[in-house]
Chains A and B, each alone.
Chain A
Amino acid sequence: AQSVTQLDSHVSVSEGTPVLLRCNYSSSYSPSLFWYVQHPNKGLQLLLKYTSAATLVKGINGFEAEFKKSETSFHLTKPSAHMSDAAEYFCVALMNRDDKIIFGKGTRLHILP
Chain B
Amino acid sequence: EPEVTQTPSHQVTQMGQEVILRCVPISNHLYFYWYRQILGQKVEFLVSFYNNEISEKSEIFDDQFSVERPDGSNFTLKIRSTKLEDSAMYFCASRRQGIQPQHFGDGTRLSIL
Contacts and interface: CB of A to CB of B under 8 A. Distances in A.
**Real binding pair:** yes
Interface of A: 32, 34, 36, 41-46, 49, 51-52, 90, 92, 94, 96, 99-101, 103, 105-106
Contacts of B93: 44
A interface secondary structure, majority: strand
Given A96-B99, A103-B42, A106-B42, A44 B31 contact: no
Ranked nearest first, the 3 interchain pairs of A and B with the lowest CB-CB distance are A44-B104, A43-B106, A43-B104
A94 B96 CA distance: 13
B45 A101 contact: yes
Interface of B: 4, 31, 33, 42-43, 45, 48, 50, 55-56, 91, 93, 99, 101-107, 109
A49 B101 contact: yes
B interface secondary structure, majority: strand
B45 A103 contact: yes
A45 B104 contact: yes
A94 to B, nearest CB: 7
Contacts of A42: 106-107
Given A44-B43, A100-B56, A106-B42, A94 B107 contact: no
Contacts of B91: 43-44
Contacts of B102: 34, 44, 46, 92, 101
A51 B48 CA distance: 21
A43 B101 contact: no
A101 B33 contact: yes
